Chains A and B, each alone.
Chain A
Amino acid sequence: EPEVTQTPSHQVTQMGQEVILRCVPISNHLYFYWYRQILGQKVEFLVSFYNNEISEKSEIFDDQFSVERPDGSNFTLKIRSTKLEDSAMYFCASSLGGGNTGELFFGEGSRLTVL
């Protein structure tokens, strides 16, 4: 069964360092998302991406964050100059037709720990 894969599963970084989280969405999906979940808290929307551009982003997704689809398969989230409060589980998701036509398929997440 096709699945969304994320790497790394866990990354530890020093405050101020740059981090790139990688995702391989399901191959025929057109919509891509990043969400994050701080330990024990709700799942928060960061950004959605369609047709090679950001279609929606939240207040959390400030200039510190960027997304890219560098080739036909990868979808990356870059966090510049990480802060302690960026420590969270980051989930990538993809969907065929966007949330209004069906489900989102989530990866297992990348746990980011900022020291």
Chain B
Amino acid sequence: SQQGEEDPQALSIQEGENATMNCSYKTSINNLQWYRQNSGRGLVHLILIRSNEREKHSGRLRVTLDTSKKSSSLLITASRAADTASYFCATLTTGANSKLTFGKGITLSVRP
């Protein structure tokens, strides 16, 4: 598997339901970030969690990080049709040559 691999690859839910997306990674990280991309558009930063943090909230978003399992989850509560987009986790590795590496993304569809 690659650094920053999300699952599921696609998720379809009803408006009002919660959406949970997972990300696994392989190497040590400095931080992990989640981005959103609407179809054909640029990436928009959602939330950043540092390696010494376990949970973070921002509005309807909740992200967790388990460095022992090298995994993170993004929870979107009370989803809306406007949340329909692709979601990417991105990891910043530690070390001199660190760079932000993106996963393949999760396609979330929220049905009205």
Any A CB within 8 A of the CB of B60 = no
A91 close to B105 (CB less than 8 A): no
Known contacts A42-B102, A42-B103, A48-B99; is-contact A99 B92 (Cβ 8 Å)? yes
Residues of A near B103 (CB, < 8 A) are 42
Task: Indicate which residue in A41, A45, A102 contacts B101 across the interface (CB closer than 8 Å).
Answer: A45
Any A CB within 8 A of the CB of B98 = yes
Within 8 A of A (CB), among B36-72: 41-45, 48
SS of B interface (majority): strand
Within 8 A of A (CB), among B83-110: 88, 90, 92, 97-105
Known contacts A45-B101, A99-B98; is-contact A108 B88 (Cβ 8 Å)? no
Residues of A near B104 (CB, < 8 A) are 41-42
Residue total for B at the interface (Cβ-Cβ under 8 A)? 23
Known contacts A45-B100, A99-B99; is-contact A106 B92 (Cβ 8 Å)? no
B42 close to A107 (CB less than 8 A): yes
Residue total for A at the interface (Cβ-Cβ under 8 A)? 23
B33 close to A100 (CB less than 8 A): no
Residues of B near A93 (CB, < 8 A) are 43
Which has the most chain B C-beta neighbours within 10 Å: A4, A33, A109?
A109
Residues of A within 8 A of B (CB): 4, 33, 35, 41-45, 48, 56, 58, 91, 93, 99-100, 102-109
Q: List 11 A-B contacts (CB under 8 A).
A: A42-B103, A43-B43, A43-B102, A48-B99, A56-B97, A91-B43, A99-B30, A103-B33, A103-B45, A105-B45, A108-B41
